[in-house]
Amino acid sequence: MIGPQFDIISFITKFHRILKLSDAEAYLIRVQRISKAFDQLIDQQIERRHRNIETPRFVLQRVIDGLEAFQKQLTDEPNRSPLIIAFIEKLNDTICSKEKQNELISRLLKILKTNVIPAYDRLLNILHEDLSNATTDHGVWKLPNGDKYYKLCLEYHTTTNMSPDEVHELGKKHVERIQNEMRRSDYFVKFH
């Protein structure tokens, strides 16, 4: 699963170090702020709507499926959530007592229930709205100024000033040449 909605979870669980009690408190604050990050994703999605930039149906469906699976785990089995597992693994007796560890874990569970799960609900609601209107005709050509964007991407990735049609024709010639070479080599090594 990729995308900012998953990157934030990955960042917190993989890179947030807990070496002292204040690090554990900072972890809780970061998890609590997932809600704000998701609200920013919602604002970005609304802005794309206003600009007539549609997320392709297949992308929306994958994101929704991933979010729903993660949310289901948070709701049904919060103790198996990567956010909880990573936190517990990073806590130890040198940081704080078992009693304090249990208190921190309880606070994290409450944050998941009161902040993170509702944030998932809000994000999923807007993505489901967009899914109901999404089309299956994908491509940058569909975006405002999509042709210009495609040409700019082509120039960037190929370091050429060729037009998209010229690059396409060049590609077709190369494919034909390579296929002919493969046919000749097949004949000589008797794969035919």
pTM of the model: 0.75
pLDDT at 96 over 80: yes
Determine contact, residues 145/53, Cβ cutoff 8 Å: no
Confidence check: pLDDT of 21 > 80: yes
Cβ-in-10-Å burial (0-12, 13-18, 19+) of 78 comes to middle
Alpha carbons 121 and 34: distance in angstroms, whole number: 13
Q: How far apart are CA 41 and CA 107, in angstroms?
A: 25
Task: Please tell me the predicted confidence (pLDDT) of residue 138.
Answer: 80
Task: State both tokens at 1.
Answer: 């699963």
> Would you give the DSSP letter of residue 81?
S
CB-count burial class (<10 Å; 0-12, 13-18, 19+) for 91: buried
Question: How far is it, in rounded angstroms, from Cα 29 to Cα 178?
Answer: 56
- Per-residue pLDDT reduced to its tens digit, 126-158: 999 999 988 888 888 888 888 898 889 888 988
Predicted pLDDT at 1: 54
Buried b (16+ CB within 10 A) or exposed e, 63-75: bbeebeebbebbe
17/129 Cα distance (integer angstroms): 37
